[in-house]
Amino acid sequence: MAICAVYSTPSLHSPCSISSPTKTHLGFHQRQVIFFTSGRIRRRSGTNSFEVSCSGEAKTVVIGLAADSGCGKSTFMRRLTSVFGGAAEPPKGGNPDSNTLISDTTTVICLDDYHSLDRTGRKEKGVTALDPRANDFDLMYEQVKALKEGVAVEKPIYNHVSGLLDPPELIKPPKILVIEGLHPMYDQRVRDLLDFSIYLDISNEVKFAWKIQRDMAERGHSLESIKASIEARKPDFDAYIDPQKKYADAVIEVLPTQLIPDDNEGKVLRVRLIMKEGVKYFSPVYLFDEGSTISWIPCGRKLTCSYPGIKFFYGPESYFSNEVSVLEMDGQFDRLDELIYVESHLSSLSTKFYGEVTQQMLKHADFPGSNNGTGLFQTIVGLKIRDLYEQLIAEKAAAPAEAAKV
């Protein structure tokens, strides 16, 4: 008997038990169990309508992306979905304020939707959105687990415009589910559901520079208000968000450049791709010779470099007691088409053809970070996730055949 934790309607072609948690008007959970043996069941309750398949085969791969707000999660998601083909768009015909993005292969869920308190509620209780007390981790776990098992859910929506919790939206199990936000690796139950995890680690200096550029130039905020906003969030960020990076399979760390002395403007960046060793279906990218320690300045006849130039580093390190490989780029490209020269010296990229990294970068040349290591490493991680997904699916497809032999 396949057992599915669901919020929705299953398809009855094999014996199946559905355990369906529903929320009362007080926000507490009660559980309902439905048994069925064949056919297709559709359960409607009020405005709730569900659609689920209980084949017993989990086909959804779950990726977690953690970062503070304003650290490039949206750009990363656009690069990732592009690797799989097609742009991610909001659900058609749904709430125009939905935070969800859907493509043919991927569904991206913003974990802000699991806020248990709206904006007013947080102010009344004196907590920020970063505080775990402002988030419903039980519901997050139950719904991510259901989607991973092939079960549709009705996910809440946090409205960033009004600061209120809107009525839920139906999310069907995709091939790849990306949960992005502040807390994808905070709760161990949710963390254990992840097939791969990434943390975007933006240094305080760069984060401050980016926020000044965005909020002063685009939103008219004063320097004092920006500083106050960052300082107000910092204790909760340090306590609840930043520690998650020790669990990540890959970390993209963004730091001030070392090529220009005392440069903190955030225009030239040093970016490190920290890749954990020993992760199933994931082999770290390396430069020239796997396991070596290499410093490389590629500027010359094959790569145009204006001041302050470009410098790469690759080598083994220890990161939170884990063995990792680190690929680092300091500086920025003058011409993206010349990236092919750098790509030709990188191995284990999981590309399908020569020059695919360069092609992806050129395709999104207008995206933030396309001329430096943020765009390069986001693209590389996207290709590695595609490879991981294909390996996982191949293993699942082979499992029944192996079982039959036994």
Rounded Cα distance, 151 and 5, in Å? 7
**Which stretches does DSSP call E strand in 106-206?**
106-110, 153-158, 165-171, 176-181, 196-202
Best CA proximity match to 154, nearest among 16, 23, 329: 23
Query: Are both 274 and 356 inside the same structural domain?
Result: yes
Query: Are both 52 and 66 inside the same structural domain?
Result: no
Query: Are both 298 and 368 inside the same structural domain?
Result: yes
Rounded Cα distance, 133 and 135, in Å? 6
Residue 398 within a domain? no
Query: Are both 65 and 190 inside the same structural domain?
Result: yes
**Exposed / middle / buried, residue 25 (Cβ in 10 Å: 0-12, 13-18, 19+):** exposed
* Widest CA span in the chain: 70
* Angstrom distances, CA of residue 120 to CA of 68, 124, 129, 161, 168: 21, 6, 11, 13, 19
**Exposed / middle / buried, residue 279 (Cβ in 10 Å: 0-12, 13-18, 19+):** middle
Query: Are both 278 and 333 inside the same structural domain?
Result: yes
Residue entry with tokens 């580093």? 313
* Among candidate residues 57, 77, 99, the one where a domain is terminated: 57
Number of domains in the chain: 3
Best CA proximity match to 160, nearest among 70, 225, 237: 70
Residue 242 within a domain? no
Residue 299 within a domain? yes
Q: What is the enclosing helix (H) or strand (E) of 20? A: strand 16-23
Q: Are 14 and 56 in contact (CB under 8 A)?
A: yes
pLDDT of residue 43: 37
Query: Are both 42 and 88 inside the same structural domain?
Result: no
Residue 381 within a domain? yes
Q: pLDDT digit of tens for each residue in the chain (406 aa)?
A: 333 433 433 332 333 333 344 443 333 344 333 333 233 333 333 434 344 444 445 589 999 999 988 788 888 988 998 998 877 888 888 889 999 999 989 999 999 999 999 999 999 999 999 999 999 999 999 999 999 999 999 999 999 999 999 999 999 999 999 999 999 999 999 999 999 999 999 998 888 887 777 667 656 678 888 788 788 889 999 999 999 999 999 999 999 999 998 776 668 999 999 999 999 999 999 999 999 999 999 999 899 999 999 999 999 999 999 999 999 999 999 999 999 999 999 999 999 999 999 999 999 999 999 999 999 999 999 999 999 999 998 988 887 666 667 6
Query: Are both 312 and 366 inside the same structural domain?
Result: yes
Residue 1 within a domain? yes
Q: Which residues pair with 237 in a beta bridge?
A: none
The residue type at 95: N
Query: Are both 51 and 128 inside the same structural domain?
Result: no
Residue 68 within a domain? yes
| Structural domain containing residue 75 | 58-196
Rounded Cα distance, 173 and 7, in Å? 12
Cα dihedral 178, 182, 185, 191 sign: negative
* Among candidate residues 9, 39, 57, the one where a domain is terminated: 57
* Among candidate residues 57, 76, 97, the one where a domain is terminated: 57
Q: Whole-angstrom distance between the N-terminal and C-terminal Cα of the chain?
A: 20
Tell me the CATH number at 67. 3.40.50.300
Query: Are both 45 and 63 inside the same structural domain?
Result: no
Query: Are both 1 and 49 inside the same structural domain?
Result: yes
Best CA proximity match to 82, nearest among 401, 362, 315, 392: 362
Residue 317 within a domain? yes
Residue 399 within a domain? no
pLDDT of residue 201: 96
Query: Are both 68 and 36 inside the same structural domain?
Result: no
Rounded Cα distance, 405 and 403, in Å? 5
The residue type at 25: H
Contacts of 19 (CB under 8 A, 6+ apart): 3, 4, 5, 6, 31, 32, 33
| Helix, strand, coil content of the chain in percent (nearest 5) | 30, 30, 40
Output the six-digit token pair for 164.
């209120």
Query: Are both 274 and 340 inside the same structural domain?
Result: yes
Cis peptide before 400 (omega within 30 of 0): no
